[in-house]
Structure 1
Amino acid sequence: MARRKRPSRTSKPDPPSEPISEQNTTRNTPDDVFHLSPPKLGTIFVISTLLCSLHLYLLCFHYNVETELRSSILINAGLSFVGFFVTLKMIPVAARYVLRRNMFGFDINKRGTPQGEIKVPESLGIVVGVVFLIVAIIFQYFNFTEDSNWLVEYNAALASICFMILLGFVDDVLDVPWRVKLALPSFATLPLLMAYAGHTTIVIPKPLVGYVGLEVLDLGRIYKLYMGLLAVFCTNSINIHAGLNGLEIGQTVVTAAAILIHNVMQIGSSTDPEYHQAHAFSIYLTQPLMATSLALLAFNWYPSSVFVGDTYTVFAGMTMAVVGILGHFSETLLIFFVPQILNFVLSVPQLVGIVKCPRHRLPRFDPATGLLTGTKDGTLVNVYLRLFGPKSEKSLCIHLLVFQALACAFCFVLRYFLAGWYK
């Protein structure tokens, strides 16, 4: 997490809202002082192996997936793999450019140490977003499907994601107030809502059928309103569950891995071609999201050499909302988001103004011990530290990502035990 300051074109800049030690006081950053730390590929190899192996095993060996569909998914995976290396190469280039434009910050969680005085390039999520779109467009070009509805929804999904990337980057540059941020995803989802041609019905849980009198309820336009609200929540929930090196991307790749596993399981357990296509659609967007995110995580893992910015968090949230909506598993997606829901509930008093909300709701860093201590701010990060005691930033991030993985595992257990009884 960093404090960043926009370049000002006025002769009388606004007074600083924070101590001058956190401000950008340099007009330009010369190329000869810019040295980006090498990517942590060993760490990424371990993480990607843990997260991707089960998905590929289920797809290639465990389930009898139709050959053509499996080939299409593997082609998408191959393109995503290429996207990983492209992102890896483009991040240092983009980092140099954003530093030239004074888009950098200082790591507040390392304040008082030499690492806390290093200028860290900001908003590198733009690289992930652009490469993701390129991979998705190339895949669409070579995917010879005759389903016109699929193409319309796919293009609408890319339009919504592209719009969100643009708005996220605008936020990084202009520092948009958080109340405006809440509304931005609503506009970004308009292409998706207009092109959505799927069902607008929900299956009533079996224990409630006797009270409702229906097994299936058609919500009509209310369902589209629900879709829009889901996009708003997913986009902003990742944005506020942040502040540690690797946390924003880490929670995304863990959740993306769970989404991929869920999609393959649903394809393998069903014989409905339309159902297969809906979950394949989700895979086609989730695989490039995960691959490009892992490349950025190689630079953002502790100690971070780049910051992802709001560009990445809103892009990742919108992408997962889109795949949940068009893959028809929004309820499952919300269970995957249990840590984000908990963080949002804890944040509500500060977000609505009941409790004073500081600019940075980060834990307190002790330079002498190198440990983080929880503050009274209502975030999952601070509450975790208050419950379990001070921890290093890296250790805390790993604990929270394990919690994210456990939430996803809980979702699979819940679906297994409730299958046939709940729905």
Structure 2
Amino acid sequence: MDYFTILVSAFISTCCYFTAAHIIPGFRDMFLKANLGGIDLCKKDKRKVPESLGVIVGCVFLVGMFFFIGCFYYLQQEKGFSNSDFVEFLTALLSICCMILLGFADDVLDLRWRHKLLLPTIASLPLLMVYYVNFNSTVIIMPKLVRPWIGMSLNIGFLYYIYMGALAVFCTNAINILAGINGLEVGQSIVISSSILMFNFIELTRNSEATQHAFSIYFIMPFLAASLALWKFNKYPSRVFVGDTFCYFAGMTFAVVGIIGHFSKTLLLFFIPQIFNFLYSVPQLFRFVPCPRHRLPKYDPETDLLNISTTEFNKKDLGLLGTIFVQIFKTFRLISWSEKPDGTVTTNNFTLINLVLVLRGPTHERTTTQILLGVQLCCTVVAFMIRYPLASFFYDA
């Protein structure tokens, strides 16, 4: 393990934190003058808050990484710095930069959903090309139970690249659909990045020659530092909004370290709440159940609490798949359901935020964020249990 290079990365990450913390307040008024702001719907005063500040944090991260690449090249000259390492750094930054651009464009232009699915796929292509040239490993290790029939490993070929492309799309959109209340986007990104950082350090202590995990650390530390600076201003009561820019920036950063770091499957373990939120949202996302344009919780100014947001439709309008999903959710008591004699139904919107409010009742915004981040932390513990103690039951290590 190259401790000195990691210390250099930690120093640059610290600089990223203080730089972001210093310049974010200075850009608030500039963004408001450019009409990049929005009303905080969950506050009594309906104040206008500057939006898309995630682009500032993304730029600080990129500048920090540019400095680190120069330091890394200088430190590794005597150890045989390879061109492939340099290409990996630049390609990873290219993919991240593309997603920052997409996120900012979405904040300004309000792109359609099909663009949000297509552009992350295109942005991940340079990364997949580098993976193909430098590694081209498409072999997956099979669990012990199926090895007598399939063998120790299975080469899935091109399907592995489809999986990694889908991973990039999922990561860049997963945080974006679990958002909408103060501090949630940045908070979950901090927990996920901390989990990834801890995982990489564990892997390096087990195998000091696992350079791909060092690569992941070099990207995650400055991201985590810049996100912590943003958290100061985005937590309740939020003084800035991060916008889609930060969500896409964070998601692509996670996808980059997972793909180049060769732990894309482990990465998904840190996205358990996001995976659940996506599966829970599927009926509305794919229009099996009517979906309003906005599914944010409903704010009650009299109590200063969040309530579930609802959608109303006639039960006859549900197709077969919609009926199946609704019946499953009702069986496990995952939705509120009110039905009138004429068949008109009122139910909550299918998001994890609304589910918390269904289970708990009206809750303050700060408390709701704390509950969701607590769930994220608990899922991280579960992820590490799956990755280490339980994995030995299914694999050799």
TM-score for both structures, normalised by structure 1: 0.80
Q: Distance in 1 between matches of 2:140 and 2:265?
A: 10
1:373 paired residue number: 307
Structure 1 stretch displaced more, 214-223 or 342-351: 214-223
SS state at 1:304 partner: coil
Q: Partner amino acid for 1:141?
A: G
> Which of 121, 124, 129 is the equivalent residue of 2:53?
124
| 1:216 and 2:153 matched | yes
| 1:143 and 2:72 matched | yes
Q: Partner amino acid for 1:205?
A: P
SS state at 1:298 partner: helix
Q: Distance in 2 between matches of 1:416 and 1:191?
A: 32
> Which of 364, 367, 371 is the equivalent residue of 1:392?
364
Shift of residue 70, structure 1, vs aligned partner: 1.3
Q: Partner amino acid for 1:247?
A: L
The CA deviation string for residues 271-308 of structure 1, in whole angstroms up to 9 with x for no partner, is 5x2xx210001100000110001111110000001100
| 1:164 and 2:99 matched | yes
| 1:104 and 2:42 matched | no
| 1:254 and 2:188 matched | no
Q: Distance in 2 between matches of 1:103 and 1:148?
A: 41
> Which of 248, 269, 275 is the equivalent residue of 1:341?
275
Structure 1 stretch displaced more, 360-369 or 159-168: 360-369
Shift of residue 261, structure 1, vs aligned partner: 0.5
> Which of 202, 212, 219 is the equivalent residue of 2:140?
202
SS state at 1:143 partner: helix
Q: Partner amino acid for 1:192?
A: L
Q: Distance in 2 between matches of 1:229 and 1:103?
A: 31
> Which of 212, 218, 230 is the equivalent residue of 1:278?
212
Q: Distance in 1 between matches of 2:368 and 2:16?
A: 29
Shift of residue 228, structure 1, vs aligned partner: 0.6
1:236 paired residue number: 173
Q: Partner amino acid for 1:331?
A: K
Shift of residue 392, structure 1, vs aligned partner: 0.4
How much identity, in percent, do the aligned residues show?
A: 49
SS state at 1:109 partner: coil
Q: Distance in 2 between matches of 1:207 and 1:138?
A: 48
- Unaligned regions of 5+ residues in structure 1, if any? 1-65
| 1:181 and 2:116 matched | yes
| 1:410 and 2:382 matched | yes
Q: Distance in 2 between matches of 1:226 and 1:393?
A: 36
Deviating above 6 A after TM superposition, structure 1's stretches of 4 or more consecutive aligned residues are none
> Which of 21, 28, 33 is the equivalent residue of 1:88?
21
Q: Distance in 2 between matches of 1:366 and 1:139?
A: 48
| 1:355 and 2:327 matched | no
Q: Partner amino acid for 1:292?
A: A
| 1:316 and 2:250 matched | yes
Q: Partner amino acid for 1:186?
A: T
TM-score for both structures, normalised by structure 2: 0.86
Shift of residue 404, structure 1, vs aligned partner: 0.3
Q: Partner amino acid for 2:130?
A: A
SS state at 2:104 partner: helix
SS state at 2:39 partner: strand
The CA deviation string for residues 357-409 of structure 1, in whole angstroms up to 9 with x for no partner, is 22221111111111111231010000111012221000010110010011111
Q: Distance in 2 between matches of 1:149 and 1:216?
A: 27
The CA deviation string for residues 147-179 of structure 1, in whole angstroms up to 9 with x for no partner, is 222221111110000011011111111000122
The CA deviation string for residues 185-234 of structure 1, in whole angstroms up to 9 with x for no partner, is 1011111111112222211112221231x212222222111111000001
Shift of residue 120, structure 1, vs aligned partner: 0.4
Q: How does 1:9-28 map to 2 (within 5 A)?
A: none
Provide the aligned length of Structure 1 versus Structure 2.
348
